Amino acid sequence: MIPELGHFSLILALAVALVQGTLPLVGASRGDLRLMALGRTAALTQAFLVLLAFGALTQAYVTSDFSVLNVVDNSHSAKPLLYKISGVWGNHEGSMLLWALILALFGAAVAVFGNNLPDTLRSRVLAIQALIGVGFLAFLLFTSNPFQRVFPAPPDGNGLNPLLQDPGLAFHPPLLYLGYVGFSVTYAFAVAALLEGRVDAAWARWVRPWALAAWCFLTLGIALGSWWAYYILGWGGFWFWDPVENASLMPWLAGTALLHSAIVVEKRDALKSWTVLLALLAFSLSLLGTFLVRSGVLTSVHAFAQDPARGMFILAFLLFVTGGGLALYAWRAPQLQGGGLFQPVSREGALILNNLLLCTLAATVLLGTLYPLFLDLLTGNKVSVGPPFFNATFVPLCAPLFAALCVGPFLGWKRAELWPALMRLRVALVVSLAAIVVAMTMIDSRSTLAALAFGFGVWLIVGSLASLTDRVRSGTLRTLPRSTLGMVIAHASLGVVVLGSVATSSWNTELMHTMKPGDRIDFAGYSVQLERMDEVRGPNYIAERATLAVSVGGKPYTVLQPERRLFTVQRRQVAETAIQTNGLRDFYATLGEGNPQQGWVIRLYLNPLAPWIWLGAALCALGGFVSLSDRRLRIGAPSRKPALQPAE
């Protein structure tokens, strides 16, 4: 009964979305206030209905209702409750429902928090948001119904993929989707602005918080996924340039560019049409990522044919959203008059350079991800694009970006001088040069590039903090606007990420050894003894657990217990790494195959500064949230016209 209610409310939601996507648009063009007011009610109703549907599916998972096909395929009665819940979005249908839910919630958020928007703009934004919702709801109902029943109901389910049964991964998709879908709001704002033919400082001020929120969540989502890969995959890597990772990196890069160009629109009334284009692109790239991942195009061209209905639907939708947005842009953008003029060396100039480089980075990732597909389709030649390619193309492009990043905030608007800005950064420059020398002489003399990258990391941190020195000296640090504080945190945290990733990928120590209980080995100043091997029983797995006693200079230091888990339902083994961290380095151990006769393969790693990668990413998102809490955004933008008095 409850699944049917869920199914029914999904159908109702589609109907409401259709109304919300059309009537307010008509109202906005005719100036009919009643039709425009409909948008807000419809947005709230739609969110409520999709929430009901999502609740119904969650209920089916929590109670292990095996008469629902989706639950049978992805759940099992013996699974811990957390994974029963995360199983809701741990599959195709459920994750699409989560996508639709977040989309509807963002729509409702615009309806609730959009009081300061002019009526026409708000109703247009809500309508565009609803039209995107129509696409996803129709996709769910016609190709991926999560409420499909199965008869007769099997006694138990097939269980969730063991790799997904992990706390980190339970929250990874919702965060990532909050980011992806958050850009739908900026897309809707961009399309609405093109329809209105007006982009101004007020528009930028309304858009920026949404872009910022989406960007923060996307940052957290990517970081969580990368952290998961680090501790679950068992060889200490954190980023693999895999197409599915790239799919999330592209909207992040475009979104970062958007955040920066929106500042120029807000402060200087320039770069308008470019900002609108970026807003269109950020969401298009989010959709492209979804398309690439969902359709299976990336796995192989044949997987596309396996489920042509789904792939074709998303492709058609992607073309509609991207093509429609760009066509509207081509038609309307020339009407957007650029305002403020500026010299190349100025804050505006620095932000343009930022946009130029970020877009080139996004293009590099896009080419690297799609090129093998197109080459294969067009010529039949197969080519591999892997980490070495991106290391050779993406990473060098980061150098000018990082170099300019610290200088930009020291440049004034309109017209600035480069030399005074550099003089104020001289301490940062000296410190980072010193860091390069230290890295070259004391850590590793062979890798000049690693030392250089390390220097860039230090430059980012010290150079970003340098913009606070004047405030510290004059004792006005407390009056620092939160948006500036957020910027400093986010910029410096990028340096933290750079330091972490450079150190852990260039200067890690690794040891691989076959050990029997009682064996002892020396590893980078530590003495590691395999004390015993145990068999452990989890809720839905059996595991082999090694107990490694680590000591330094004869004194016990720590105990590491890596496991290999065999999930009994799926009969799949998953390694559970053991990591001891002191904030500056990770002591990382994994257990490999083995038996009592020959011993077990133990892998040990020392990953210097590895925790900084995720610490930095978390700080980066924190910077975004701090900026989001800025007074300017909380109070709201100045309205374009005097506020109307409510009718008595």
Partner 1 sequence: MIGARRLFFMFLSPLGERLGEGVRRPLTLPLPLAGERSLKALCCVLLLLFTLPALAVEPSEILPDPALETRAREIGRALRCVVCQNQSIDDSSAEVARDMRRAVRERLTAGDSDGDVFAYMVARYGDYVLLKPPFKAGTLILWLGAPFLLLVAGAALLLAARRRRHTPIAAPKPLDEEERRRLDALLKG
Q: Rule CB under 8 A: which of 393-432 touch partner 1?
A: 393, 397
Q: Which residue is associated with the tokens 């064996």?
A: 519
Q: How many CA atoms lie within 13 A of 381 on its CB side?
A: 6
Contact 340, 414 (CB under 8 A): yes
> Which residue number, 343 or 581, has a Cβ lying nearer to partner 1?
343
65 phi/psi in degrees, rounded to 5: -80, 95
CA 521 to chain CA mean position, Å:
40
Q: Which of the residues 133 through 172 are near partner 1 (CB under 8 A)?
A: 161, 163-164
DSSP conformation class of 603: E
CB of 330 to partner 1, least distance (A): 17
Q: Which residue is associated with the tokens 């609108």?
A: 276
Q: Which of the residues 328 through 347 are near partner 1 (CB under 8 A)?
A: 339, 341, 343-344
CB of 221 to partner 1, least distance (A): 9
The string over 365-392, giving b where at least 16 C-beta atoms fall within 10 Å of a residue's C-beta and e elsewhere, is bbebbbebbeeeeeeeeeeebeeebbee
**Near partner 1 by CB under 8 A: residue from 334, 518, 596, 642:** 642
Q: Does the protein bind partner 1 through residue 197 (CB under 8 A)?
A: no
**Near partner 1 by CB under 8 A: residue from 364, 483, 504, 540:** 364
**Near partner 1 by CB under 8 A: residue from 121, 125, 126, 352:** 352
Q: Which of the residues 565 through 584 are near partner 1 (CB under 8 A)?
A: 566, 570-575
Q: Which of the residues 211 through 240 are near partner 1 (CB under 8 A)?
A: 225, 228-229, 232-235, 237, 240
Structure tokens at 270: 């320039």
Q: Which of the residues 240 through 279 are near partner 1 (CB under 8 A)?
A: 240-245, 247-248
597 phi/psi in degrees, rounded to 5: -70, -50
Q: Which residue is associated with the tokens 């650029």?
A: 338
Q: How far apart are CA 476 and CA 147, in angstroms?
A: 58
For residue 537, the cross-strand partners are: 542
CB of 51 to partner 1, least distance (A): 21
Contacting range for partner 1; rule: CB under 8 A; set: 115-123, 380-388, 528-536, 580-588: 380-388
CB of 417 to partner 1, least distance (A): 16
Structure tokens at 124: 């247009």
Which candidate, 118, 325, 319, 311, places its Cα nearest to that of 203?
118
User: How many amino acids of this chain bind partner 1 (CB under 8 A)?
Assistant: 83
**Near partner 1 by CB under 8 A: residue from 8, 41, 52, 296:** 296
Contacting range for partner 1; rule: CB under 8 A; set: 20-28, 130-138, 365-373, 434-442: 365-373
Q: Which of the residues 439 through 498 are near partner 1 (CB under 8 A)?
A: none
Q: Does the protein bind partner 1 through residue 116 (CB under 8 A)?
A: no
**Near partner 1 by CB under 8 A: residue from 360, 527, 529, 580:** 360
Structure tokens at 169: 């991964």
CB of 608 to partner 1, least distance (A): 18
**Near partner 1 by CB under 8 A: residue from 197, 387, 539, 556:** 387
Q: Does the protein bind partner 1 through residue 371 (CB under 8 A)?
A: yes
Contacting range for partner 1; rule: CB under 8 A; set: 10-18, 319-327, 487-495, 587-595: 587-595
Q: Which of the residues 304 through 333 are near partner 1 (CB under 8 A)?
A: 306-307
> Which residue number, 26 or 85, has a Cβ lying nearer to partner 1?
85
Contacting range for partner 1; rule: CB under 8 A; set: 295-303, 313-321, 421-429, 533-541: 295-303
> Which residue number, 141 or 397, has a Cβ lying nearer to partner 1?
397
Q: Which of the residues 589 through 628 are near partner 1 (CB under 8 A)?
A: 590-593, 601, 603
CB of 523 to partner 1, least distance (A): 14
**Near partner 1 by CB under 8 A: residue from 33, 303, 316, 319:** 303
Q: How far apart are CA 327 and CA 320, in angstroms?
A: 10
Q: How far apart are CA 106 and CA 108, in angstroms?
A: 5
Q: How far apart are CA 42 and CA 474, in angstroms?
A: 52
For residue 542, the cross-strand partners are: 537, 566
Contacting range for partner 1; rule: CB under 8 A; set: 33-41, 435-443, 586-594, 612-620: 586-594
Q: How far is CA 170 from CA 82, 88, 163, 174, in A?
A: 8, 10, 11, 8
> Which residue number, 381 or 582, has a Cβ lying nearer to partner 1?
381
Q: How many CA atoms lie within 13 A of 545 on its CB side?
A: 14
**DSSP string of 282-313?**
HHHHHHHHHHHHHH-TTT-HHHHHHSHHHHHH
CB of 399 to partner 1, least distance (A): 13
CB of 356 to partner 1, least distance (A): 6
Q: Which of the residues 36 through 75 are near partner 1 (CB under 8 A)?
A: 73-74
Which candidate, 117, 253, 239, 230, places its Cα nearest to that of 183?
253
CB of 113 to partner 1, least distance (A): 25
Structure tokens at 493: 């945290």
Q: How far apart are CA 553 and CA 549, in angstroms?
A: 13
CB of 521 to partner 1, least distance (A): 11
CB of 166 to partner 1, least distance (A): 11
Q: Which of the residues 73 through 112 are near partner 1 (CB under 8 A)?
A: 73-74, 89-92, 95
Contact 274, 103 (CB under 8 A): no
Q: How far apart are CA 167 and CA 82, in angstroms?
A: 8
> What one-letter code names the amino acid at 455?
G
CB of 415 to partner 1, least distance (A): 11
Q: How far apart are CA 345 and CA 420, in angstroms?
A: 12
Q: How far is CA 486 from CA 212, 227, 623, in A?
A: 11, 23, 4
Q: Which residue is associated with the tokens 């919300």?
A: 20
| 3-state class (DSSP) for residue 45 | helix
Contacting range for partner 1; rule: CB under 8 A; set: 185-193, 292-300, 315-323, 465-473: 292-300
**Near partner 1 by CB under 8 A: residue from 377, 392, 643, 644:** 392
> What one-letter code names the amino acid at 348?
E
CB of 485 to partner 1, least distance (A): 31
Q: Which of the residues 509 through 538 are near partner 1 (CB under 8 A)?
A: 512-514
